Amino acid sequence: MPPEHQASNYRAVKAALFPHGKPDELILYRMRGEDEPEQAARDYEGVLPAQLDILLLGIGEDGHTASLFPGSPALQEWQRRVVTVVGSKPPPRRLSVTPAVIRAARHLLMLAKGESKAEAVRRALQEGDVPSALADTGDWLMDRGAAQALPAEE
């Protein structure tokens, strides 16, 4: 989808993090979701650096992250760095970085908000059986609702 689309993750993140404009020295690598998916994946892989300094991720209620949904064949892809995937929610055809890109990032930041994400957060951090567990070594920022299924620290 185009970057100005209401459901665009790029639009949402850019608006939240840079409401007054992006700093000139910051490089954002935007996936061109409005282009033909296979070509967009090849193009993005061509500009993506070998290692991202910061990778900002979110978690879905089913534990997906980066459009890597549970059971997706893309979770087994370690050679390519960008693939097309079929999502379980609109839009069905998406672009995603692969686990190789997520694991190689210098800094991983996972955002989780709301009670509806609590079980997915627990599964990612305690069971490791959902795609968002790929970011288990990163920093997780969450509100009380998203953290409610985690054990309390003593």
Does some domain include residue 140?
A: yes
Contacts 24+ apart (CB under 8 A), 25-31: 30/3, 31/82, 31/95
**Predicted local confidence at residue 3, as pLDDT:** 83
What confidence tens digit (pLDDT) does each residue in 80-89 have?
999 999 877 7
Any domain includes 96 = yes
pLDDT band at 66 (very low <50, low <70, confident <90, very high): very high
Q: pTM for this one?
A: 0.88
Quote the number of domains for the chain.
Answer: 1
CA dist., res. 148 & res. 151, Å (int): 8
- 123-137 per-position pLDDT tens digit: 999 999 999 999 999
Task: Give the range of the structural domain holding residue 137, as residue numbers without chain letter.
Answer: 9-146
CATH of the domain at 139: 3.40.50.1360
